[in-house]
Chain A
Amino acid sequence: MNFPFLTLITFIPLLGAVVVALIPGRREREIKLVAVLFSVPSLVLSLIAWLLYAQNAGEIKFLEEATWIPTLNAYYRVGVDGISLPLVFLTTLLTTLSLFYSSYTIKKRVKEFFALFLLLETGMIGVFVALDLVLFYIFWEVGLVPMFLLIGIWGQPQDRPQYSAIKFFLYTLVGSVAMLLAFIAIYMTTGTWNILQIPGLKPLAGNPGLAIAAFWAIFLAFAIKVPSWPFHTWLPDAHTAAPTAGSVVLAGVLLKLGGYGMIRILLPFFPDLFKQFAPWIGVLALISMIYGALVSMAQWDLKRLIAYSSVSHMGFFMLGLVAAAASLEVANPVLTSRAIALNGAVLQMFNHGIITGGLFFLVGVIYERTHTRDLKAFGGLSAKMPVYYGVMLTTALASLGLPGLAGFISEFMVFRGAFALIPTYAIIGVVAIVLGAAYILWKIVQHVFLGEFSEERWQEIFNPAHWHFSLDMARFEVITMAPLLFFMVLVGIYPAPVLNVINAATTALLAML
């Protein structure tokens, strides 16, 4: 038997959660240390797994299989390919950084926070590695509960955390129960929960009406999570209310659960239906991209702005996916464009996780100092906090798609694919890039960093008595951001290590459809 990479990556955080829960609550230093330490093995192992994964292999690796519930034909079956591996790494990286960052900023109910966060990590990784629908569904819901509590307990009081928490919970639950019914219906016709086998068995092929219902039920679950317009309204509330680390993981990982589900489950299970409905889903993607950007531009709350920008950026992902799906069964030359579009979509998820995760950390930096996120309260901070300015500028430019940074590569690939396959959508979609540049340069860069610095206004919002670190980015904040910046630059100038892995898997996926 091979080394159980994925089981360890998934369940070490759970063990950590149990250990943290057993430490007496007043020993906060130990709790923080233990929590961070328990997240490290998963990070290291996922990096090793990535390095061990043959770059050009498209198939599932690190497969582990064990009988779980024989009467239900449910298996404990985990494995990764080039689509899930980067996302697993993203999850472990962001979790470790979030725990490290939180060990400096979380002050109330410390034990619960760190235990829940580790539990959340198990749920998120589980979704990316599960290859059995029952297991997938269980992990999907396991992640829901800790996030609900993270938002509700550690949210800032002015952001209505309880309302946001239950809204997040209900939205996700509506989608996931619909998905559960669809999964059961699929099981009835195929007799298996195996995610890898079901595509070959043509689920629900004999019952077109039920197939369409199942398609949309599963789509709903994933579209809520992505989130696609019009299912996005939970997102600004949840992101804004959540504590910094919660927002990072929400934007960085939880949205990817939906995107990953679309690629791993929806597209392979129902390729024909996906193709048939691609025009409609494409419209949803376009609305998400443009509407998200416009609403983002209208925000004066920095965190809310970034939350809406996620709607826009995940729309790019959906556009790439739609481009790949809309052209199924078209002759061979297009295959390259399809692969490019799908590669772009997967890379966009990875990049968005790195970049927007980083942006939420950076919002945390200013919020911890001033306890406000009102853009009108800032201005001229570039002189006061030069390091912060540099880091924020790099991250923001990566987000708007500046060549040389990560965001550019994936957006370029999405549009390169989309122009070849669904040109009308692509032309409309480009507007979102322009709008993205507008809100990032105008709202974030200009309002926070440029313009006149007003000492008077600064005195009002900044109270040195409540802040024990340096005014510019403190060491722990720099350490948190450094790996993210590294990946933004790496993917921006030399994306091959990430892209090769993704490409092999997407090509294999497309060839199978």
Chain B
Amino acid sequence: MTLTQFLVLLLPELVLTLVALVVLGLDMLWRNGNGSRHLLPWIALAGTVALLVAAVLIWPLGSTGGAAITFTTGKDFGGDQTPMMVLDPLALFFKLFTAIVLALVLLSSGNYVRAHIRFHGEFYALILFAGLAMTLSAAATNLLMIYLSLEFLSITSYLLTGYLREDERSTEGAVKYFVYGATASAVMLYGFSLLYGATGTLDLASIAAVLTGSVIPVHWLVYPALIMVLVGLGFKIALVPFHQWAPDAYEGAPTPVTAFLSVGPKAAGFAVLMRLLLTALPGFQLDWISVLAGVAIVTMTLGNLVALWQSNVKRLLAYSSIAQAGYMLIGLVALAPEAHSWTTGLNGLLIYLFAYLFTNLGAFAVVIAVENHTGSAQLDAFAGLMRRNSFLAITMFLFLLSLIGIPPTAGFVGKLFVFGAAIQRQMIMLAVVGIVNSVISVYYYYAIMRQMFFGEAPDAPPFDEGPGLRVAVGVAALMVLMIALYAEPFIRLASDSVSLLAASF
């Protein structure tokens, strides 16, 4: 691999790194009373656009087949040209995904950051770095690289969660998140070491190759390794029983960070989970499918049941996002071997993630707007929102419908595909649990709807959400409708992105 090739294949990541560093640098230059600091979010936003452009530019390189990106490592790690990352359709999908997440989060955070946060430059840079970690983890094909990128994502997330230094809940959330996260990633690392011990390689494809020809005793090393890996990834995705950090971290974190946490790390976790299980451990399919089926059922149910009792919207959406991850997991559990059927499970997972991206970030953008105005994210802050800001109320209503899965919204298409996969694989039980949970979820989403439309807030004046939030909410709402009414390109994108992975499986 020549240096040029190497740089071209890493173009999106390099662009993102560069912009993050520029933001940091400019923040330092402009620190002393220079008025240009308000440009920082726009520079960061330009960075996400650049990421998008870079991803589109290199799209042809990765869309037909995987282009391995190799790093030079020592002999102990398998020679000096070790494949560390890959540029394949799945990695490209998550680069696109990351760019959208970053753009929506940055658009929503302007006013909030000005009001609550002292160190703007670091904040924007950290968000960009977290996005970088997402793209890296989705592309990683080597256990070492997976671990490093996930840790990178975790550490930036811890920092962002605790960003409100004077706020006790922010600090508490960050500490909880950190303690949990450190433990989970240690367990995961131990699992990786077992896999390495059993197979002698860190490369996912080589692990699978070694395991197919291996003897039974080696398999007994893989089972604990599998469980430990699932612990670590379960923590990132916030699957039950590794979800306890999520409500506190979500509630304490600055709301734009909460928005990011509810989508970014989850998506990265799913990307790694898909790649790792399908590439490295296809032979253990029956084992991880049965474990994950159980986890999916528990995650959906617990997330929904606990959400019923919440009175803080951030916390409510935290539990809701736990439940949503449970639905997504159905896609992975019910993955179909034949790649030509309409739902392969995996494409359902990606469609669901894509729908969830716009839905959840849109919902959080509305929460940020309400919080900017009222200073509270309690349910009653939403009272009479329809009278105060009908744009936010109507779009929020749309997002909530999408979270429930009612057409014509994106969430419906996602649910159609994952439940369809479950029915296709004759996992009727899983589909029924999912459906019952969707109905239960109506009740807590209704708590928000009721406040917005039926609640009265006589002395609350109308308010304006500001241009950044208006664009973020508007784009998210538009996409939520688009994915449902003009579904074809999105389905195709998702199916193409997993085709390579499914074919190798």
B454 contacts the other chain (CB 8 A): yes
From A67, which residue of chain B is reached at the shortest CB distance?
A: B488
Q: Which of A134-142, A228-236, A255-263, A350-358 contacts B (4 or more CB under 8 A)?
A: A134-142
- Chain A residue numbers with a CB within 8 Å of B443 are 166, 170
- Chain B residue numbers with a CB within 8 Å of A34 are none
Indicate if the CB atoms of B386 and A71 lie closer than 8 Å.
Answer: no
- Chain B residue numbers with a CB within 8 Å of A165 are 454
Q: Which of A172-180, A273-281, A340-348 contacts B (4 or more CB under 8 A)?
A: A172-180
Indicate if the CB atoms of B407 and A137 lie closer than 8 Å.
Answer: yes
CB distance from B456 to the nearest CB of A (A): 11
CA distance A177 to B423 in the complex (A): 14
CB distance from B478 to the nearest CB of A (A): 14
CA distance A9 to B386 in the complex (A): 30
Indicate if the CB atoms of A71 and B491 lie closer than 8 Å.
Answer: yes
A208 contacts the other chain (CB 8 A): no
Indicate if the CB atoms of B454 and A162 lie closer than 8 Å.
Answer: yes
Indicate if the CB atoms of B342 and A71 lie closer than 8 Å.
Answer: yes
CA distance A187 to B484 in the complex (A): 19
A-B CB proximity, top 9 nearest: A138-B407, A177-B435, A71-B491, A69-B487, A184-B420, A141-B407, A184-B423, A141-B406, A152-B454
Indicate if the CB atoms of B424 and A177 lie closer than 8 Å.
Answer: no
- Chain B residue numbers with a CB within 8 Å of A174 are 439
Indicate if the CB atoms of A181 and B432 lie closer than 8 Å.
Answer: yes
CB distance from A38 to the nearest CB of B (A): 19
- Can you list 25 A-B contacts (CB < 8 A)? A69-B488, A71-B342, A71-B495, A72-B342, A112-B386, A137-B407, A138-B407, A141-B406, A141-B407, A141-B412, A142-B407, A152-B454, A162-B450, A166-B442, A169-B446, A173-B439, A174-B439, A178-B435, A180-B416, A180-B435, A181-B431, A184-B416, A188-B424, A210-B428, A213-B428
Which residue of B406, B420, B439, B450 contacts A145 across the interface (Cβ within 8 Å)? B406
CA distance A181 to B408 in the complex (A): 17
CA distance A165 to B450 in the complex (A): 10
Which residue of B401, B442, B454 contacts A153 across the interface (Cβ within 8 Å)? B454
Which residue of B423, B453, B484, B495 contacts A181 across the interface (Cβ within 8 Å)? B423
A 135-159 to B, binary, CB cutoff 8 A, 1 in contact else 0 = 0011001101100010011000000
B 419-432 to A, binary, CB cutoff 8 A, 1 in contact else 0 = 11001100010011
Q: Which of A145, A170, A177 has the most CB of B within 10 A?
A: A177
B116 contacts the other chain (CB 8 A): no
Indicate if the CB atoms of B424 and A152 lie closer than 8 Å.
Answer: no
Which residue of B423, B442, B488 contacts A169 across the interface (Cβ within 8 Å)? B442
CA distance A223 to B59 in the complex (A): 51
- Chain B residue numbers with a CB within 8 Å of A161 are 454
CB distance from B440 to the nearest CB of A (A): 10
Q: How large is the interface on B (under 10, 10 to 19, 20 to 34, 35 or more residues)?
A: 20 to 34
CB distance from B296 to the nearest CB of A (A): 16
Work out how many contacts link A and B, with CB atoms closer than 8 A: 78
B438 contacts the other chain (CB 8 A): yes
Q: Which of B403-417 contact A (CB under 8 A)?
A: 404, 406-408, 412, 416
Indicate if the CB atoms of B446 and A166 lie closer than 8 Å.
Answer: yes
Indicate if the CB atoms of A170 and B432 lie closer than 8 Å.
Answer: no
Apart from A177-B438, A181-B435, 9 more pairs, CB < 8 Å: A69-B488, A71-B488, A71-B495, A138-B408, A149-B453, A162-B454, A170-B443, A173-B404, A173-B406
Interface of B is mostly: helix
- Chain A residue numbers with a CB within 8 Å of B428 are 181, 210, 213
A197 contacts the other chain (CB 8 A): no
CA distance A70 to B487 in the complex (A): 9
From A152, which residue of chain B is reached at the shortest CB distance?
A: B454
Q: How large is the interface on A (under 10, 10 to 19, 20 to 34, 35 or more residues)?
A: 20 to 34
B492 contacts the other chain (CB 8 A): yes
CA distance A152 to B450 in the complex (A): 8
Indicate if the CB atoms of B406 and A144 lie closer than 8 Å.
Answer: yes
CB distance from A105 to the nearest CB of B (A): 20
- Chain B residue numbers with a CB within 8 Å of A72 are 342, 487, 491
Indicate if the CB atoms of A170 and B454 lie closer than 8 Å.
Answer: no
Indicate if the CB atoms of A170 and B439 lie closer than 8 Å.
Answer: yes
A73 contacts the other chain (CB 8 A): yes
- Chain B residue numbers with a CB within 8 Å of A170 are 439, 442-443
CB distance from A430 to the nearest CB of B (A): 39
CB distance from B251 to the nearest CB of A (A): 26
- Chain B residue numbers with a CB within 8 Å of A71 are 342, 488, 491-492, 495
CA distance A68 to B491 in the complex (A): 12
A185 contacts the other chain (CB 8 A): yes
- Chain A residue numbers with a CB within 8 Å of B419 are 180-181, 184
CA distance A112 to B394 in the complex (A): 11
Q: Which of A26-73 contact B (CB under 8 A)?
A: 68-73
CA distance A137 to B488 in the complex (A): 18
CB distance from B319 to the nearest CB of A (A): 19
- Chain A residue numbers with a CB within 8 Å of B406 are 141, 144-145, 173
From B432, which residue of chain A is reached at the shortest CB distance?
A: A181
CA distance A174 to B443 in the complex (A): 12
From B446, which residue of chain A is reached at the shortest CB distance?
A: A166
Q: Which of A112, A162, A170, A180 has the most CB of B within 10 A?
A: A180
CB distance from B484 to the nearest CB of A (A): 8
CA distance A170 to B438 in the complex (A): 11
B 180-202 to A, binary, CB cutoff 8 A, 1 in contact else 0 = 00000000000000000000000
- Chain A residue numbers with a CB within 8 Å of B408 are 138, 141-142
Q: Which of B406, B432, B491 has the most CB of A within 10 A?
A: B406
CB distance from A188 to the nearest CB of B (A): 6
- Chain A residue numbers with a CB within 8 Å of B439 are 170, 173-174, 177
Which residue of A112, A138, A162, A173 contacts B442 across the interface (Cβ within 8 Å)? A173
Q: Which of B432, B443, B454 has the most CB of A within 10 A?
A: B454
Q: Which of A446-481 contact B (CB under 8 A)?
A: none
CA distance A138 to B495 in the complex (A): 23
From B426, which residue of chain A is reached at the shortest CB distance?
A: A210
